[in-house]
Structure 1
């Protein structure tokens, strides 16, 4: 005679251990990703807006409010002209200015002039004169802040 176990009596003496599902989230990878994104953001914000390396002159002038519709014109130490980050070919500055065009409101954008401190004053004035001749009347000059009066 054998003993048979019915299905209902099989699991009675044994305890079935089931692991409960974990309700926790491992936040370490999330923190790592957020720190990397923060570092990338901090590095890119501190980069200059225009990539032309220029040693700006110093001035104690009060800063002006930034206007959203601006185009940056830079003149490096050798006198080469850059429109935003693109070098303008020799003699092509008037054509580059006419290609800028008017905004949606029909106004010309404000030109922001960045000139190297070692430039000849005549070179800067020639560039500004060409800007005026092209119809640009709002021109801002960019300088570094200075703590001592001239």
Structure 2
């Protein structure tokens, strides 16, 4: 009986690089799961709140319009006012709703100091949201 040599087939060499495709697939599935479940976790407590008539939410944030014309005259909601009346009415508005926005319309020829006075009166009244209204540039 002769002993023969067993021939081995040479297998593939081991892979020295990591295959990241399955890792990316798993991560994408997890991201999709988190995207779907995140909104559900935010409102997990279910309540049946009581109904009351005095708890009506206010509509969109209100605004008042302050106009300073070329002569420096002040107008609040298209009604002429003095500086003292403007400060008084802005203070009353600030007490009712401190989130009220002021839309400030000032003529180009108005000195900057007059605009700063109006801004100061609004700030003193507790109104910090001021929008400056301008016309779009003509092209």
Determine whether 1:118 maps to 2:118.
no
Contact 2:94/2:126, CA 8 A, preserved across alignment = no
> Post-superposition, which runs of at least 4 consecutive aligned residues in structure 1 deviate over 3 A?
none
Q: SS at the partner of 2:84?
A: coil
The residue that corresponds to 1:134 in the other structure is 125
Residue 133 of structure 1 deviates from its aligned partner by: 1.2
Tell me which structure has the larger Cα radius of gyration. 2
Consecutive unaligned residues of structure 2, counting only runs of 5 or more, are 1-59
RMSD across aligned C-alpha pairs, in angstroms?
Answer: 2.0
Structural mapping, 1:81-92, within 5 Å: 81-92=74-85
Q: Give the alignment partner of residue 90 of structure 2, picking from 90, 97, 119.
A: 97
Determine whether 1:144 maps to 2:125.
no
Residue 142 of structure 1 deviates from its aligned partner by: 0.4
Residue 73 of structure 1 deviates from its aligned partner by: 0.6
Measured at CA, do residues 114 and 100 of structure 1 come closer, stay the same or move farther in structure 2, by a change above 3 Å?
Answer: same
Measured at CA, do residues 76 and 112 of structure 1 come closer, stay the same or move farther in structure 2, by a change above 3 Å?
Answer: same
Aligned residues: 80
Q: SS at the partner of 1:135?
A: coil
Contact 1:88/1:96, CA 8 A, preserved across alignment = no
Rounded Cα–Cα distance in structure 2 between residues aligned with 1:107 and 1:130: 14
Give the structure with the higher percent helix: 2
> TM-score scaled by structure 1?
0.47
Instruction: Choose between structure 1 and 2 for higher RCO, CA contacts under 8 A separated by at least 6 residues.
Output: 1
Consecutive unaligned residues of structure 1, counting only runs of 5 or more, are 1-66
